[in-house]
Amino acid sequence: MSESGIRENLKEVENNIASACQKAGRDRSEVTLIAVSKTKPVEMLKEAYDCGCRDFGENKVQELLDKYEALPDDIRWHMIGHLQRNKVKYIVDKVYMIHSVDSLRLAEEISREAVKKNVKVKILIEVNVANEETKFGTTCEEAVQLVRDIAGLPNILVKGLMTIAPYVDDEEKNRCYFQKLKKISVDIMRENIDNISMETLSMGMTGDYRTAVSEGATYVRVGTGIFGVRPPMLKGEEK
Ligand SMILES: *Cc1c(COP(=O)(O)O)cnc(C)c1O
């Protein structure tokens, strides 16, 4: 028995994903659960690992590196938080995917470091679909052009799009944003840009992953629903 309830929480999340897939006529294998472990201690990640989790999401470079060192090497680490260009070099050969690319300058830095370390880096373009002032991400209008610009950079693989929907009490309110992200990905796919894939849609968090799955999410990023509540963010910290 897990004292923290992680095993039970994971079961519940798994059931919810499975039933959302079923209702939407999707195969369960189309959706990967990312356990968002930011602020949580290594022991809790180990517990989730022992329950079968292999995809973990972190939003801070140093924290990701510490956990990377401490945990088994078959984990796929997802960088889901805002990434400063001067920190790219520390993670470029350690992360499985960077979900939060929202500028050409950041992509250029990732490309440069990836070439140096001779790795290929999978990235997603973060789109601020709800146009929230507090959030990072490119605008819907700029997303296609950004993908075109990034497409030519060496050692970068654009795999799709990511969004962080608004915090809402009723997840139905976010359905339109998930639909919008899906639509942008279809529009980009139609452009037939070389070296670009739109197979990945990273959308849905604890409050809205069921709706996200029903609208086509291939990654859902669940933190609170697995590990419990986090301490409140400090002033100045990003959403
Ligand atoms: C913290 C975070 C999550 C997880 O949020 P929960 O509401 O705890 O599930 C997902 N995505 C990103 C980008 C985050 O920063």
Ranges under pLDDT 50 in the chain: 1-2, 239
Question: What's the pLDDT at 227?
Answer: 97
Q: In the numeric block, which tokens belong to residue 96?
A: 């499985």
Are 106 and 211 in contact by the 8 Å Cβ rule? The answer is no
Report whether residue 146 contacts ligand 1, using a CB cutoff of 6 Å. Answer: no
Choosing from 79, 102, 221 the residue with most ligand 1 atoms within 8 A of its CB, the one to mutate for a pocket test is 221
Site to substitute for ligand 1 among 205, 208, 233, most atoms within 8 A of C-beta: 205
pLDDT at 38: 98
pLDDT, residue 166, reads: 95
Q: What is the DSSP string of 182-239?
A: HHHHHHHHHTT-TTEEEEEEE---TTTHHHHHHTT-SEEEESHHHH-PPPPPPTT---
Distance between CA atoms of residues 137 and 127, nearest Å: 5
Determine the distance separating the centroid of ligand 1 and the alpha carbon of 152, expressed in angstroms. 30
Q: Using an 8 Å Cβ cutoff, are 213 and 30 in contact?
A: no
- Ligand 1 atom at minimal distance to the Cα of residue 207: 7
Tens of pLDDT, residues 128-156: 999 999 899 999 999 999 999 999 999 99
Triad 16, 20, 55: Cα angle to 5°: 60
So what's the pLDDT on residue 3?
57
The tens digit of pLDDT for each residue in 168-207 reads 999 999 999 999 999 999 999 999 999 999 999 999 999 9
Whether pTM > 0.75 for this model: the answer is yes
Q: Are 104 and 149 in contact (CB under 8 A)?
A: yes
